[in-house]
Amino acid sequence: MSDILFRARELESYGIAIRRQIHKNPELGFELPKTIELVEKELVSLGYEPVRCGKAGITAAAGKPGRTFLLRADMDALPMKEETGLEFASENDCMHACGHDIHTSALLVAARILKEREEELQGTVKLMFQPCEEGVAGALDMVRAGVLGNPNADAAMALHVVHEKAGTVGYSWTTACASSDVFAITVKGKGGHGAAPHNCVDPINTAVHIHMALQAVNSREVHPDEMLVLSICEIHGGTASNIFPETVVMKGTIRTMNPEVRSFAKDRLVQIAKQTAAAFRAEAAVEFLHEGIPPMRNDTILLQETTGYINRILGEDTCYELPRMTGSEDFSVVSQLVPSVLYWVGTGSEEEGYPYGVHDPRVTFNEESLHKMAAIYAGTAMEWLREHS
Ligand SMILES: [Zn+2]
Ligand SMILES: [Zn+2]
């Protein structure tokens, strides 16, 4: 067993206690007062000087001037009622169903190890505790607030739990997961009596044609090798069976692995919606509901290096290749600016007695993975700095 893993194992109950405290008090988006207080207090007690960054982020650093390796953990929960029945279950209507409580506590355990071994660090390790990953806005907010500067991050790594065998570490080459954009199309027609369509402009008929026309973007306009998802998941319009509504609203999401395909699909969405609406004498307005995030880009060299470190820290063949995911992770914003890697750490498979995946109100996690995540965080940063000093 590597010395880092041995120390992380010794700190297991410390990490689990923090994790359960965060788990009991889940908070959402940028509104994380209790979580931030806990993280800051813990960092101060470990000898750090934490700094607020952006709306609700925290950074802290250990080591000495030199190259800088950034470690990211997210802190926000989901707006869903927990149904696990665990003794440390959520005490409010939100839930850490995506495992961010584990990420945050694992990074705190890593922070403790890094502080204990600060003399050995051949550069700086910067810790990034971010809010609002689920709202895909927290990483961008911290980047705009300067998290990647002073000192400049030279490489970055994030870990995320995954519904796989506990303690395994998955990765994907090049793109780990997709971009994400969310849109609303408002189709405006002319309402009126259902028995007199000739006096109206039917926004429902128009919306249906827009929906059908949009299917051509992925099936006919993008190279078959490219992954593109364009899904409409909401359609709202009408109040009665004999009244044409004035408007219909459709909402959906675009996911791709390629920034060029992403901007092409967004442009075509707007063109097809507007021109199809015009063909039916209606109007369409397209709104993108947030800035969206790019695909997560794993740096090939950093991935080769860090899989080597992780296999040394946790044992040969810990790392394995996973198919890329059509879900998204807003650490992708960092990955477009600094060489980065994202790893998926298994926290229990169905065969091991963990039948539910993340975002399920019944999901539970094998807490044995927590100290392994801490060892990966601390050990990878130390190894990378050693090799690049
Ligand atoms: Zn999530
Ligand atoms: Zn998550």
Residue 35 sits in the same domain as residue 157:
yes
19, two tokens: 């994790």
| Residue 359, marked binder | yes
Is the peptide bond prior to 50 cis by the omega test (within 30 degrees of 0)? Answer: no
Question: Which among 288, 307, 335 is the end of a domain?
Answer: 288
Tell me: is residue 160 an annotated ligand-binding position.
Answer: yes
Neighbours of 300 (CB within 10 A): 12
- Whether residues 169 and 195 share a domain: the answer is no
pLDDT for 90 equals: 97
Domain shared by 41 and 145, yes or no:
yes
State how far the Cα of 369 lies from the Cα of 260, in Å rounded to an integer.
Answer: 37
Query: Could you give the angle at the alpha carbon of 189 between the alpha carbons of 185 and 194, nearest 5°?
Result: 125
CA of 331 to the centre of ligand 2 (A): 10
Residues 113 and 227 in one domain: no
Cβ distance 57 to 130 under 8 Å? yes
Q: Are residues 191 and 277 in the same domain?
A: yes
Question: How far is ligand 1, taken at its centre, from the CA of residue 88, in Å?
Answer: 20
| Domain with 313 in it | 3-177+294-388
Q: Looking at the CA of 359, which ligand is closest?
A: 1
Nearest by Cα to 326 from 235, 241, 262, 236: 262
Q: Which ligand is nearest to the CA of 329?
A: 2
- With a CB cutoff of 8 Å and minimum separation 6, the contacts of 373 are 102, 103, 106, 110, 159, 345
Looking at the fold, whether 317 and 377 belong to one and the same domain comes out as yes
pLDDT at 1: 75
Residues 171 and 201 in one domain: no
Where among 288, 312, 339 does a domain terminate?
A: 288
Any known ligand binding at 198?
Answer: no
Q: Which residue in 196, 182, 198 sits closest to 291, CA to CA?
A: 182
Number of Cα atoms under 13 Å in the Cβ half of residue 181: 24
CA of 135 to the centre of ligand 1 (A): 9
Nearest ligand to the CA of 360 is: 1
The CA-atom distances, in angstroms, between 123 and each of 3, 8, 151, 154, 159 are: 20, 21, 10, 11, 21
User: Residue 134, annotated ligand binder?
Assistant: yes
Mark 74-86 as b/e (b = at least 16 C-beta within 10 Å): bbbbbeeebebee
Do 138 and 99 belong to one domain? yes
User: Considering its fold, how many domains does the chain have in total?
Assistant: 2
The CATH number linked to 242 is: 3.30.70.360
Residue 223 annotated as part of some ligand binding site:
no
CA of 237 to the centre of ligand 1 (A): 30
Q: Which ligand is nearest to the CA of 104?
A: 2
Q: Which two tokens stand for residue 334?
A: 């960092």
For residue 369, the CA-to-ligand 2 centroid distance in Å is: 16
End-of-domain residue from the set 288, 315, 344: 288
- Helix axes of 100-116 and 12-24: crossing angle, nearest 10 degrees: 140
- Give the whole-angstrom CA distance, residue 42 versus residue 59: 13
- CA 103 to ligand 2 centroid distance, Å: 9
pLDDT tens, the chain, 389 aa long: 789 999 999 999 999 999 999 999 999 999 999 999 999 999 999 999 999 999 999 999 999 999 999 999 999 999 999 999 999 999 999 999 999 999 999 999 999 999 999 999 999 999 999 999 999 999 999 999 999 999 999 999 999 999 999 999 999 999 999 999 999 999 999 999 999 999 999 999 999 999 999 999 999 999 999 999 999 999 999 999 999 999 999 999 999 999 999 999 999 999 999 999 999 999 999 999 989 999 999 999 999 999 999 999 999 999 999 999 889 999 999 999 999 999 999 999 999 999 999 999 999 999 999 999 999 999 999 999 999 99
**Is residue 220 located within the same domain as residue 85?**
no
Distance from the alpha carbon of residue 359 to the mean position of ligand 1, in angstroms: 6
- Do 125 and 22 share a structural domain? yes
Q: What is the 192 CA–ligand 1 centroid distance (Å)? A: 43
User: Ligand 1 centre and the CA of 377: distance in Å?
Assistant: 20
For residue 103, give the ligand nearest its CA: 2
Q: Do 243 and 282 sit in the same domain of this protein?
A: yes
Q: Are residues 115 and 213 both part of a single domain?
A: no
**The pLDDT of residue 2:** 87
